[in-house]
Amino acid sequence: MRFHHMAIFVSDMDAAVRLWRDVMGFKLNADTYIPDGKEPGPGTFIHPKLLEDIFGVKGARSRTVLLTSPEGAMIELQQPEVPKIQKTPPENLRYGHTGIHELGLLVKDIDAWFDKVRAAGYETQTDYVWGCASIGRSFLFYDQDGNLIQLWESPGDPTWGV
């Protein structure tokens, strides 16, 4: 099994796109609304009934942005309009609650990434890049909604797409 994508629900799509495109270097592949009001066809992302079933609400609608890294990682950003998105309280995003709490990405030159993320104004969990035994170096930071993203550098040349 291989990783396909991560969906991140956001309160401010434009701010989220700036992070993923401008800071993280992902390419914007699609920016659309689902449903898009067109007749269902081969270009339809999600049919209206399916989105209603997934979101559990009549008239569901969401802005959807798909981005990919040069190495092939895909991020799906969602900003629902119906139901109206509500920001998760910060205390529910931390490690004391169930759920997926961090998205980990493999990078090269962790120190440069740390400087870039901090220069872009994102809060990091620590003021430094830390080591984990002899298996790698890492740091964690929060996006504009408090979601935790971990950047990790393995020793040597990471193997992309394995």
Contacts of 134 (CB under 8 A, 6+ apart): 155
| Domain 90-153: top CATH class | alpha beta
Q: Output the six-digit token pair for 135.
A: 């298996």
* Topology alike, domains 5-82 and 90-153: yes
Is the pLDDT reported for residue 162 higher than 70? no
- CATH number of the 5-82 domain: 3.10.180.10
Per-residue pLDDT at 44: 74
How far is Cα 13 from Cα 92, in angstroms, rounded to an integer? Answer: 21
Query: Domain extents for the chain?
Result: 5-82, 90-153
Residue 95: per-residue pLDDT: 79
Residue 118 pLDDT: 98
List the structure tokens of 47.
């049919």
Give which of 151, 114, 153, 159 is closest to 135, Cα–Cα: 153
Q: Give the dihedral sign, CA 59/60/66/72.
A: negative
Mean pLDDT of the chain: 89
